[in-house]
């Protein structure tokens, strides 16, 4: 007997929890032990060298080769003491995930001898074989080579037996080939633009950061059941599968008790995260069965993103140890909540959060100034912001009836909305809500008490007290894509704002009045982006269109926003990417989109032909056999019809669904072959979206109908009810 779905289910349900590694008594004893952090640097680097490294991390000062040589020597000793035998430049190609090529420290020389070697040059720069990564034509246009360069602002770490050095990946002519390089440039851009505005508020010589706190959602499935689902293995989602009778209707999973098997996994995961200095803070169940979330305390965006990518890698290994597979796909199961990665984003100095309303009038004006400019940037670039999070997998969330809709609007909450409305309606000399004239000419904005009670869960870009929460980001995404766009558009808007304020000052307005008047105008021009209602309603779609918000749901068309004149100008104005780089990225987006859909199409066609149809026709034959035998017993036509009508109908249904599914699969594959010949990546992606995606949906309908008809004993694929409930 061959291994069946039932063997897998039995295995899954009988699997005892794997005891997590008992953590050391207190996290403080091992936190960050696998990171080349300050504590470890103190042991392995001289104080001069450390000083230089800190300057580089905190102020972006470039490290010279001598210092790099010292750092490399210390880093090597530390890594070898940690048991590392290899090192790698760890980078973030546009295909998603991370890439690494491991080199051994061992440097064999002479006759049968070897030395451990790691120089400053090896630390600073490497040349991986870039040809296997997509470049969107960049390397054809320029050089066939790309190199990785050390990013000292994100500390090196040891994972397994390898020293991992965070790097950017760029072409020899300097174009970014990865996610990190533009992110770092966008951080510099927003730091500069923000610092220029802060001078008005008496804050100078402070370094500015963009901060990010992500919330990673994911699904777990049992490894044995996973192994029986070729669609989940290859496309990370179920391409077929009828809804389970019980899924999330009861909403009893959210914040419910975590199954013990999962809890042990989480403990292990947290242990591994703490060793890597990932500041994990919360863990809980999510809305859907088998869905969970893990979130850290926010950090500087660049570091937070590296930590998120490290987490995703660690999760896969830890899950395997516990007999799970972790799914980062945004929509692994139809009809059940998808997974996102909310990006909580803010800007600030080391001590001051600029999106926190303050206690004084000046602080509140500062808050309104930055908030208004962010809203304006989001309003003017809402299509671009959506494009930054749109992927083949995330498009199942965006625009579908679940948070958030495919229209980027912002929710402010009552207090902040009111403060802005007051600013609009007040003559600046009049005190809000009061009678007396205000001598400084600052509207006395009441102290804002930010409530978190009226949080709007359908808003894609919600103000949540001291930050904006961008909820449209997909669970499998590299957050850099979204954060780079946010930093860039806000930086560019702040530059424009400063120019306008300076013009007002030159025309005789006082500085405070100029800021206030300009903030009012900025808010007035973009208040249409604010929406506090139900983002799922049909009425909102119509209203959003009227307000000039982008309502496109087709991913390939959304990507056009990267190449609009406005986007190119915005990116250029703050020096984050040039037009060639933007075009390359967009080409890659289209290419990846087509490839993902094509994989789904091929897998589904395979599944239909090799799993579903054979089983369905086998079951049909059993019924046919039964019916023809009945005919021998019930010789009267009337009697026969009465007893066999039901089965005959099922036979007909199976015939209809199998023939339809077969015909659609064949046609879909033919279309795929045809579309593959299309030269233009954009045109190709549009075809995959417009033609192939509907095929996937209709084939699924037939297969899911068959799942409900065919004998449960014969069905080869683990069903939703088996995949979705961990015991
Ligand atoms: P919720 O699920 O209620 O949205 P969580 O506590 O799960 O909230 O996640 C909120 C995230 O926002 C955390 O990572 C938190 O550190 C982060 N965060 C809090 N304040 C800021 C801020 N000023 N800037 C960026 N992120 C922040
Ligand atoms: Mg959240």
Ligand 1: atom nearest CA of 348 is 23
Q: Specify if 559 maps to a domain.
A: no
Does 614 lie in the same domain as 525? no
Residue 244's pLDDT is 75
Full 3-state SS string of 609-639? HHHHHHHHHHHHHHHHHHHHHHHHHCCCHHH
Q: Residue 91 pairs with which residues in a beta bridge? A: 99
What's the number of CA atoms in the CB half-sphere (13 Å) around residue 403? 19
Does 640 lie in the same domain as 513? no
Return the closest-CA partner of residue 391 out of 476, 486, 311.
476
Helix (H, G, I), strand (E, B) or coil at 703: helix
Q: Specify if 434 maps to a domain.
A: no
Q: Which ligand ends up closest to the CA of 281?
A: 1
Does 92 lie in the same domain as 35? yes
Q: Which ligand ends up closest to the CA of 213?
A: 1
Task: State the distance from the centre of ligand 1 to the C-alpha of 343, rounded, in angstroms.
Answer: 8
Full 3-state SS string of 300-356? EHHHHHHHHHHHHHHHHHHHHHCCEEEECCCCCCCCCCCCEEEEEEEEECCCCECCC
Task: State the distance from the centre of ligand 2 to the C-alpha of 493, rounded, in angstroms.
Answer: 26
Report whether pLDDT(695) > 60: yes
Does 258 lie in the same domain as 120? no
The CA-atom distances, in angstroms, between 475 and each of 181, 280, 499 are 22, 17, 38
Ligand 1: atom nearest CA of 293 is 7
Query: Any idea which of 6-10, 454-458, 663-667 has the lowest mean pLDDT?
Result: 454-458
Give the residue, 444 or 473, on which the prediction is more confident: 473
Q: For the chain, give the percent of residues with pLDDT over 90.
A: 71
Q: Specify if 580 maps to a domain.
A: no
Token duo for residue 6:
């039932």
CATH number at 541 reads: 3.30.590.10
Does 389 lie in the same domain as 493? yes
The dihedral formed by the CA atoms of 187, 191, 193 and 196, expressed in degrees to the nearest 10 = -170
Ligand 1: atom nearest CA of 355 is 23
Report which protein residue has its CA nearest ligand 1's atom 2: 215
Residues 6 or more apart whose Cβ sits within 8 Å of residue 645: none
Q: Which of 132, 161, 178 is the last residue of a domain?
A: 178
Does 598 lie in the same domain as 478? no
Report whether pLDDT(160) > 70: yes
Does 197 lie in the same domain as 162? no
Residue 430's pLDDT is 29
Does 169 lie in the same domain as 70? yes
Residue 428's pLDDT is 55
DSSP 448-477: P---STT--TT-SEEE-SSSEEE---BTTS
Q: Specify if 492 maps to a domain.
A: yes
Ligand 1: atom nearest CA of 353 is 23
Return the closest-CA partner of residue 457 out of 251, 613, 650, 266.
251
Say which residue the tokens 């023939």 belong to.
659
Report which protein residue has its CA nearest ligand 1's atom 24: 346
Task: State the distance from the centre of ligand 1 to the C-alpha of 360, rounded, in angstroms.
Answer: 24
Task: State the distance from the centre of ligand 1 to the C-alpha of 268, rounded, in angstroms.
Answer: 23
Return the closest-CA partner of residue 54 out of 207, 192, 185.
207
Q: Specify if 657 maps to a domain.
A: yes
Rounded CA gap, 29 and 10, in Å? Answer: 40
Q: Which of 273, 295, 305, 483 to mutate to test the pocket of ligand 1 (most atoms within 8 A of CB)?
A: 295
Q: For 599-640, what is each residue's pLDDT tens digit? A: 999 999 999 999 999 999 999 999 999 999 999 999 999 999
CATH number at 79 reads: 3.10.20.70
Query: Can you give the residue range of the structural domain that contains 37?
Result: 30-178
CB 289 within 8 A of CB 721: no
Q: Which of 178, 198, 223 is the last residue of a domain?
A: 178
Helix (H, G, I), strand (E, B) or coil at 709: helix
Q: For 260-297, what is each residue's pLDDT tens digit? A: 899 999 999 999 999 999 999 988 887 788 999 999 99
Q: Specify if 5 maps to a domain.
A: no
Helices 480-506 and 361-380 pack at an angle, to 10 degrees, of: 120
Task: State the distance from the centre of ligand 1 to the C-alpha of 346, rounded, in angstroms.
Answer: 10
pLDDT band at 48 (very low <50, low <70, confident <90, very high): very high
Task: State the distance from the centre of ligand 1 to the C-alpha of 502, rounded, in angstroms.
Answer: 35
Report whether pLDDT(250) > 60: no
The CA-atom distances, in angstroms, between 269 and each of 21, 216, 318, 320 are 10, 13, 6, 11
Does 307 lie in the same domain as 193? yes
Ligand 1: atom nearest CA of 282 is 7
CB 333 within 8 A of CB 724: yes
Residue 432's pLDDT is 30
Average of pLDDT values for 43-51? 95
Q: Which of 215, 340, 342, 346 to mutate to test the pocket of ligand 1 (most atoms within 8 A of CB)?
A: 215
Does 167 lie in the same domain as 222? no
Task: State the distance from the centre of ligand 2 to the C-alpha of 458, rounded, in angstroms.
Answer: 11
Residue 60's pLDDT is 75
Ligand 1: atom nearest CA of 296 is 14
Does 221 lie in the same domain as 370? yes
Query: Any idea which of 12-26, 67-81, 89-103 has the lowest mean pLDDT?
Result: 12-26
| Sign of the C-alpha dihedral computed for residues 470, 473, 479 and 484 taken in this order | negative
CATH number at 662 reads: 1.20.120.1560
Q: Specify if 103 maps to a domain.
A: yes
Task: State the distance from the centre of ligand 2 to the C-alpha of 534, rounded, in angstroms.
Answer: 18
User: How many domains does the chain fold into?
Assistant: 3
Q: Which ligand ends up closest to the CA of 352?
A: 1
Does 196 lie in the same domain as 174? no
- What mean pLDDT, rounded, does the chain reach? 90
Q: Which of 293, 298, 370 to mutate to test the pocket of ligand 1 (most atoms within 8 A of CB)?
A: 298
Report whether pLDDT(454) > 70: no
Query: Any idea which of 363-372, 531-540, 541-550 has the lowest mean pLDDT?
Result: 531-540
Report which protein residue has its CA nearest ligand 1's atom 8: 215
Token duo for residue 489:
């558009």
Q: Which ligand ends up closest to the CA of 347?
A: 1
Helix (H) or strand (E) holding 215, with range, is strand 209-222
Average of pLDDT values for 154-170? 95
Token duo for residue 538:
């049909």
Q: Specify if 12 maps to a domain.
A: no
Ligand 1 lining (C-beta closer than 6 Å): 211, 213, 215, 282, 295-298, 344-346, 353, 466-467
Rounded CA gap, 126 and 149, in Å? Answer: 7
Task: State the distance from the centre of ligand 2 to the C-alpha of 293, rounded, in angstroms.
Answer: 10
Q: Which ligand ends up closest to the CA of 403?
A: 2
Give the residue, 594 or 284, on which the prediction is more confident: 594
Task: State the distance from the centre of ligand 2 to the C-alpha of 469, rounded, in angstroms.
Answer: 7
């Amino acid at each position: 007997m061959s291994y069946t779905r039932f063997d897998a289910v039995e295995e899954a349900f009988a699997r005892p929890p794997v005891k997590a590694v008992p953590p050391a008594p207190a996290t403080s004893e091992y936190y960050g032990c696998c990171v080349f952090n300050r504590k470890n640097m103190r042991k392995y680097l001289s104080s001069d060298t450390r000083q230089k490294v800190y300057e580089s991390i905190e102020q972006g000062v470039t490290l010279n080769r001598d210092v790099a040589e010292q750092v490399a020597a210390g880093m090597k000793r530390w890594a070898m003491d940690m048991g590392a035998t290899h090192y790698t430049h760890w980078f973030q190609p546009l295909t998603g995930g991370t890439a690494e090529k491991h080199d051994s420290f061992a440097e064999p020389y002479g006759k049968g001898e070897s030395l451990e070697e790691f120089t400053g040059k090896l630390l600073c720069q490497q040349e991986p074989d870039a040809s296997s990564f997509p470049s969107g034509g960049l390397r054809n246009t320029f050089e066939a080579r790309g190199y990785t360069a050390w990013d000292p602002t994100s500390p090196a770490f040891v994972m397994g037996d390898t020293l991992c050095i965070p790097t950017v990946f760029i072409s020899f002519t300097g174009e970014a080939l990865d996610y990190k390089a533009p992110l770092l440039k966008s951080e510099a851009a927003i730091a500069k633009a923000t610092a220029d505005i802060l001078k008005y508020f008496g804050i100078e010589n402070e370094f500015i950061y963009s901060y990010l706190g992500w919330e990673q959602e994911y699904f777990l499935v049992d490894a044995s059941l996973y192994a029986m689902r070729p669609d989940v293995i290859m496309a990370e989602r179920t391409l077929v599968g009828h809804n389970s009778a019980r899924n999330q209707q009861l909403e009893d999973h959210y914040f419910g008790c975590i199954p013990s098997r999962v809890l042990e996994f989480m403990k292990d995961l947290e242990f591994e995260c703490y060793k890597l200095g990932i500041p994990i803070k919360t863990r809980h169940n999510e809305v859907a069965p088998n869905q969970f979330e893990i979130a850290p305390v926010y950090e500087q965006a660049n570091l937070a993103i590296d930590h998120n990518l490290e987490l995703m890698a660690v999760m896969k290994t830890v899950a395997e140890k516990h007999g799970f597979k972790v799914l980062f796909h945004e929509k692994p199961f139809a009809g059940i909540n998808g997974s996102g990665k909310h990006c909580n984003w803010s800007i600030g100095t080391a001590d001051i959060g600029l999106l926190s309303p303050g206690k004084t009038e000046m602080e509140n004006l500062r808050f309104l100034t930055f908030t208004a400019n962010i809203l304006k940037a989001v309003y003017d670039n809402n299509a671009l912001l959506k494009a930054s999070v749109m992927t083949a997998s995330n498009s199942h969330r965006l625009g579908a009836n679940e948070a958030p809709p495919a229209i980027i609007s912002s929710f402010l909450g009552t207090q902040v909305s009111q403060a802005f409305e007051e600013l609009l309606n007040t003559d600046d000399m009049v005190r809000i809500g009061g009678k007396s004239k205000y001598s400084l000419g600052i509207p006395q904005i009441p102290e804002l008490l930010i409530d978190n009670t009226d949080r709007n869960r359908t808003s894609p870009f919600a103000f949540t007290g001291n930050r904006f929460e961008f909820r449209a980001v997909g669970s499998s995404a590299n957050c850099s894509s979204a954060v780079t766009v946010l930093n860039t558009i806000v930086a560019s808007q702040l530059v424009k704002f400063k120019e306008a304020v300076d013009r007002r000052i030159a025309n005789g307005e006082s500085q405070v009045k100029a800021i206030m008047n300009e903030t009012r105008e900025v808010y007035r021009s973009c208040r249409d982006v604010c929406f506090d209602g139900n983002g799922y309603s049909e009425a909102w779609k119509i209203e959003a269109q009227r307000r000039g918000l982008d309502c496109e749901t087709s991913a390939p068309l959304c990507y056009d926003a990267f190449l609009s004149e406005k986007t190119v100008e915005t990116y250029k104005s703050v020096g984050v990417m040039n037009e060639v780089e933007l075009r390359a990225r967009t080409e890659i987006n289209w290419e990846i989109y087509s490839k993902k859909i094509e994989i789904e199409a091929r897998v589904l066609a395979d599944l239909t032909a090799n799993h579903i149809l054979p089983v369905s026709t086998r079951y049909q034959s059993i019924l046919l056999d039964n019916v023809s035998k009945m005919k021998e017993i019930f010789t009267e036509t009337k009697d026969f019809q009465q007893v066999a009508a039901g089965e005959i109908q099922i036979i007909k249904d199976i015939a209809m669904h199998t023939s339809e599914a077969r015909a659609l699969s064949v046609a879909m594959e033919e279309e795929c072959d045809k579309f593959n010949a299309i030269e233009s990546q954009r045109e190709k992606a549009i075809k995959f979206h417009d033609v192939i995606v509907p095929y996937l949906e209709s084939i699924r309908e037939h297969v899911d109908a068959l799942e409900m008809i065919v004998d449960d004993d014969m069905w080869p694929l683990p069903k939703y009810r088996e995949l979705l409930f961990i015991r």
